[in-house]
Amino acid sequence: MEADWTDRFSRLEELEAPAHERLRKSSSLIAFPKGAVVFGQGRSPESLLLLLEGTVRVQQLSEGGREIVLYRVHGGESCIMTTACLLTHEDYSAEGIAETDVQAVSIPRRVFDDLVASSKTFREFVFSAYSQRIIDLFVVIEEVAFRRMDIRLAQKLLDLGKDDGAVAATHQQLAAELGTAREVVSRQLAEFQRRGWVRLSRGKVELSDRAAIKGLAEAT
């Protein structure tokens, strides 16, 4: 891959000249359409992916079939699930789904291993991203374990809501975002509707009283 993409990622533009040249020449551009499985549970990673454009949703599926969204990877970021698996030589324990059309840079495993060992700047790039995402995951764990579901649902509706006040998501998708059962989300949405805060339809939640939802979302 001849084009220089490293300035899209913090710290990579500071790479030592030999590491920068090897990274640029050994990488390749790949694309995934919206809805594609970027990686799946039980698979072995063969390369590190750095996203140039688009969004990948990283989620885990329990043996009982329940999903939980762990985090999202956006343009200019790397996936720490892939990083962890490359470092430990383990298979993926989660899956990545393209939420939009995605363009990414693929760095082969052997190049990743060599640069982690030989380049201080590349090593700092890898572990800085890894550390920040671990902190994000602790926030997810804290929210799932300790925060009230009605507050979390209100926050999620505000996060996902479009300018017209509509959230295009099923109850199951919202449950996956929140790490809970669909029935729990359905009951809470029914309560929101009873209060006049939302209007429910198939695959859609309309925020009819955004101020009330925001007030709940900001509750402590």
Mean pLDDT in residue range 6-34: 90
Q: How far apart are the first and last CA of the chain?
A: 50
Distance, in Å, from the CA atom of 92 to the CA atom of 31, rounded to the nearest integer, reads 20
Q: What SS3 state is found at 97?
A: strand
Q: Bridge partners of 74?
A: 55
Is residue 159 predicted with pLDDT exceeding 80? yes
Q: What is the pLDDT of residue 63?
A: 67
pLDDT digits (tens, 9 = 90+) for 104-151: 999 999 999 999 999 999 999 999 888 888 887 777 777 777 778 899
Residue 153 half-sphere exposure, CB side, CA atoms within 13 Å?
Answer: 27
> Which amino acid appears at position 185 of this protein?
V
Q: In Å, what is the CA distance from 198 to each residue of 36, 72, 147, 155, 163?
A: 31, 26, 21, 14, 15
> Which amino acid appears at position 114 of this protein?
D
pLDDT digits (tens, 9 = 90+) for 81-108: 899 999 999 999 899 999 999 999 999 9
Rounded to the nearest 5°, which phi and psi values hold at 151? Answer: -70, -45
Q: Bridge partners of 50?
A: 78, 105
**Model confidence band, residue 3 (pLDDT cutoffs 50, 70, 90):** low
pLDDT digits (tens, 9 = 90+) for 174-217: 998 888 888 889 999 999 999 999 999 988 999 999 999 999 99
Pairing verdict, β 198-201 and 55-61? unpaired
A 10 A CB-CB count for 208 gives 15
Nearest to 217 by CA among 148, 144, 146: 148
Q: What is the pLDDT of residue 220?
A: 63
E strands present in 75-183: 95-98, 102-108, 166-167
| Category of 165 on φ-ψ map: left (φ > 0), alpha (ψ -120 to 50) or beta | left
Q: Bridge partners of 56?
A: 73, 98
Distance, in Å, from the CA atom of 95 to the CA atom of 40, rounded to the nearest integer, reads 4
Is residue 65 predicted with pLDDT exceeding 70? no
